[in-house]
Structure 1
Amino acid sequence: MGLTHPQYLVMLALWEDSPLRVSDLAQRLSLEPATLSPLLKRLEVSGMVSRDRDPRDDRALAVSLTRKGAAARKRAERIPPAIIDRLGMSIGELEAMRDSLTRLIAAAAEPSEP
């Protein structure tokens, strides 16, 4: 698709809900807004997204899909079945792994006690 993995994750979030504020997008992807900014710039240059001031809060930046970005979803829908086929794992196994990794990430993000 011509996207890096982090760019693909951004697109997945936007296909689910667009427009999104940069801060909301960063939170969904567990990234810092400063880390997300270069990804969004490259996606904008490629014509996949646009970045504009949020109409509800002109201090915030909102990211929206362009027509090209929305159209890319059709191609992206072929990716998950191809990955499942390549891995040779059942949906149940993959879901269990996802759930375990989600718990691991949440536990690692919790503040540690001294």
Structure 2
Amino acid sequence: MSTASEGATPGFLVWRLSMKWRVAVDRAVAPLGLTHAQYSLVASLYGMHRAGRRPSQRQLADHTGLEALYVSKLARSLEGAGLVERARDPRDPRAVQLALTEEGREVTRRAIDVVQGLLGRLLEPLGGLDSPRVQEFTRDLTALLDAPLDPLDPPNDKEQS
């Protein structure tokens, strides 16, 4: 453990790891003309497309954990770069559906390869991407992400008395 992490809280360590990952992905995908946030959007779109879905901006926001307004801003930027198509949903004129263009699919495939290599290097200290330790780590992260946590709903002090 690094000296900067000694005695650190789990919250601080999660924050530091997320910042380390964001910066690393930003640097790794910059040569492809993407930021970490844009990568998150196009990689998610790529996966959803492979599953036969053409998500709305709202569905993509829910999937990525990004704010809907931010997804809209990112989608416009990616549309301007020729990587994403935005179209009105024929079933709901208020909703905007997103899809990757052919160029968007190509850039995304390349970015996914770059980020997978980066992920492999990040997880080497835990035994590598396919190790039992990383599988357990992934389950733990999933459990933490699935736990409800609403900062606007503080714990009820009466229940603790």
Same fold (TM over 0.5): yes
Q: How many residues in Structure 1 have an aligned counterpart in Structure 2?
A: 114
Does the 8 Å contact 2:43/2:112 carry over to 1? no
Q: 1:112 to 1:97 in 2, by over 3 A?
A: farther
Does the 8 Å contact 2:86/2:96 carry over to 1? yes
User: What amino acid does structure 1 have at the position aligned with 2:64?
Assistant: L
RMSD: 2.1
Distance in 1, matches of 2:94 and 2:120, equals 45
Residue of structure 1 equivalent to 2:46: 15
| Greater radius of gyration (CA) | 2
Distance in 2, matches of 1:94 and 1:42, equals 35
Deviations 1:10-31 (A, max 9, x none): 1111111232101110110112
Percentage of identical aligned residues: 32
Does the 8 Å contact 2:83/2:103 carry over to 1? yes
User: What amino acid does structure 1 have at the position aligned with 2:72?
Assistant: S
Runs (4+) of structure 1 exceeding 6 A deviation are none
Residue of structure 2 equivalent to 1:101: 141
Deviates more, 1:71-80 or 1:11-20: 71-80
Q: Alpha-carbon deviation of 1:102? A: 2.3
Greater RCO, CA 8 A, separation 6+: 1
Residue of structure 2 equivalent to 1:83: 118
Unaligned runs of 5+ in 1: none
Q: Alpha-carbon deviation of 1:101? A: 2.1
Does the 8 Å contact 2:57/2:95 carry over to 1? yes
Unaligned runs of 5+ in 2: 1-31, 157-161
